[in-house]
A and B are shown apart, each in its own frame.
Chain A
Amino acid sequence: MSNLLILPILIPLFAGIFLIFIKNVNFQRWLSVISSVATIIASVALVQTVRNKGVQTLDVSSWEAPFGITLVSDMFSALLVLTTSVIALACLIYSFHSIGKEREKFYYYSVFQFLIVGVNGAFTTGDIFNLFVFFEVMLMSSYVLLVLGGTKIQLRESIKYILVNVISSALFVITVAYLYSVVGTLNMAHISERIQLAGQPGILTVIAVMFLIVFGLKGAIFPLYFWLPGSYYAPPAPVMALFGALLTKVGVYSITRTFTLFFYHDQGFTHQLISVLAMLTIIVGVIGAIAYWDVKKIIIYNIIVAVGVILFGISVMTPDSLTGSVFYLIHDMLIKAALFLLVGIVIRITGTSNLKQVSGLIKNYPGVAWTFFIAAIALAGVPPLSGFVGKLLIIRGGFEQGQFIGAAIVLMSSLLVLFSVMKIFINGFWGTPRSYEGEAGVPVKWLLLSPALLVGLSVLYGLGSEAIYPYITQASETLVNPAIYIDAVLKE
């Protein structure tokens, strides 16, 4: 069935549309859960199909490849779609007990589904302008989710977030215009072919750097990360988890896609540039993560570190490092969502995000504490857990290519990342227990359900890396050898 790869986009889209008309909050919840579960089932089926039959393509409306919009699902995007759907379900279940009636009444679940449409669409599309449109679908939903509720801090940070994204969207349009005037096509496989024929002259390197700026603004790399700490600080926990796990990763995915599919002919300049920026991103993220005594800020800066680590793996461009990046990307999406949800529980119990006013939570909330502990050491990459294999492969790739400084920075960053999350664990969970106002009414068991699910999945992901490894290598195959992708789309 060749329409399978459109299901992860269509199911949330229709659910989002139906949810607009439904007033009853309970019915809304049920419908969104059903749609999320259906999306997960569809994406599992998609992953299996790609595993058995190779890259799946769908020419929308049966227009042949370069002329219509083509949706392409290789293993990389199929795995990301699956991860997105799982995180969406976890954040959805968490929302039931934390988002509050006021927000639920005003189309929260509907916008939630549209965000998933945008993310899944951006992962699946094979057309550069369609990618822009799905970016806008994702961003528009994220604006609404960020500002929904209308507290002062949300209003203030939304203004900044929207301004930055309006500028980066305009830059995206400009870059597509330049690319169109050089190659004369919008289909990604066809663009790649034309660039190969032209042998990537100077103008295409300029366009490559413009793409890096555009996607770097979305994905928060070194000089373009400035908007992220403030904006992600504002929304409530489940929205923060969705943003932290999905939005920046779409930028990282797009950088990976463009620099492995389009601009791989003249790696001397562009990939060197990405590599330097990635190292600086890691350094800035680590400095932020160890500097703050605010639980949200610490996790937010850890997003930036992870973006740097993944991009360093991409910039090295060996099969090992690309596999490592794919592995680490999926791990990081799961674990960041889990950490944000756990931090949300801590803030809900204590009523503050200041680490100095929190202590001794392990006595009354051992479940939260141990889930957080496992998530923390998985984030740092302790061997049996999920962060290990990805980082190992990235570092090995770095050493193979003689990029010793970058690999050393990745190694050192693990230590400081561990320090930053252990700071939360030691200060927040150990020490003398305190009592907090209003902690009795917090439904901790319900809230703990989804982060525990995500941490459990990430533990399985780490322990079962032997079983998952073939999927990941199949994902990095298309990145190493773009001909597979091009042949599948243009069917020559």
Chain B
Amino acid sequence: MEILMAIVIGILFMTATYLMLSKSLLRIIIGTGLLSHGAHLLILTMGGLKRGAAPLLGEYAKSYADPLPQALILTAIVISFGVTSFFLVLAYRAYQELGTDNMDQLRGNEGNE
């Protein structure tokens, strides 16, 4: 199971890298979304995918799934939500203000006022 997950996560990372190297800003943001999906799935996988009950003490099971990676993922998810929404609004503002979403035209270090 872990091997399958590793391959899937690898494909996610590959796609994310490809998208982040493209010219359009929206594609880049989609790439960051896929990158964070990959990272979150990786935490889950590296925590181990052994069989066990959901981590609820009311289940009275013999063994439970590791609760720690789940808490880490939950934290990482809300953080990447926050960052992604900020990034999207920034992209929208930049599109209004600079009139382009082409990364080639956002080059340079001069203050193109």
Which residues of A line the B interface, CB within 8 A? 129, 132-133, 136, 140, 143-144, 147, 150-153, 155-156, 158-160, 162-163, 166-167, 169-170, 173-174, 176-178, 180-181, 186, 229-230, 233
Contact = CB atoms under 8 A, between A and B. Distances in A.
25 contacts: A133-B79, A140-B82, A143-B83, A150-B93, A152-B111, A153-B112, A156-B98, A156-B106, A158-B90, A159-B90, A159-B91, A166-B35, A166-B83, A167-B35, A170-B32, A170-B80, A173-B76, A177-B39, A177-B43, A180-B46, A180-B69, A180-B72, A181-B48, A230-B109, A233-B109
A136 B25 contact: no
A69 B89 CA distance: 34
Contacts of A176: 43, 72
Interface size class of B (residues with CB under 8 A): 35 or more
Contacts of A151: 111, 113
A222 B67 CA distance: 38
A152 B96 CA distance: 10
Q: What DSSP secondary structure best describes chain B's contact surface?
A: helix
Contacts of B38: 170, 174
Given A143-B83, A170-B80, 4 more contacts: A153-B111, A156-B98, A162-B86, A167-B20
B14 interface: no
Contacts of A159: 25, 90-91, 94, 106
A155 B46 contact: no
B107 to A, nearest CB: 9
B36 interface: yes
Contact of A155 (B45, B76, B82, B94): B94
Contact of A162 (B46, B47, B87): B87
Contacts of B86: 140, 143-144, 162
Interface string B24-42: 0100100010011011101
A293 to B, nearest CB: 13
B83 A170 contact: no
A78 B25 CA distance: 41
Nearest to B41: A177
Q: Which 4 residue pairs spanning A and B have beta carbons closest together?
A: A181-B46, A153-B111, A177-B46, A173-B39
Contacts of B106: 156, 159-160
A166 B39 CA distance: 12
A155 B48 contact: no
A178 B93 CA distance: 37
Contacts of B59: none
Contacts of A162: 83, 86-87, 90
Nearest to A233: B109
Contact of A163 (B20, B79, B109, B111): B20
Interface string B47-89: 1100000000000000000001100100110011011001100
Contact of B43 (A147, A160, A173): A173
- Most chain B CB inside 10 Å of its own CB: which residue of A147, A170, A186: A170
A230 B103 CA distance: 14
Given A133-B79, A173-B76, A186 B68 contact: yes
Nearest to B36: A170
Scoring B39, B45, B86 by chain A CB atoms within 10 A of each residue's CB, the highest score goes to B39
A159 B87 CA distance: 7
B93 A155 contact: yes
B104 interface: no
A112 to B, nearest CB: 17
Contacts of A150: 93, 97
A163 B79 CA distance: 15
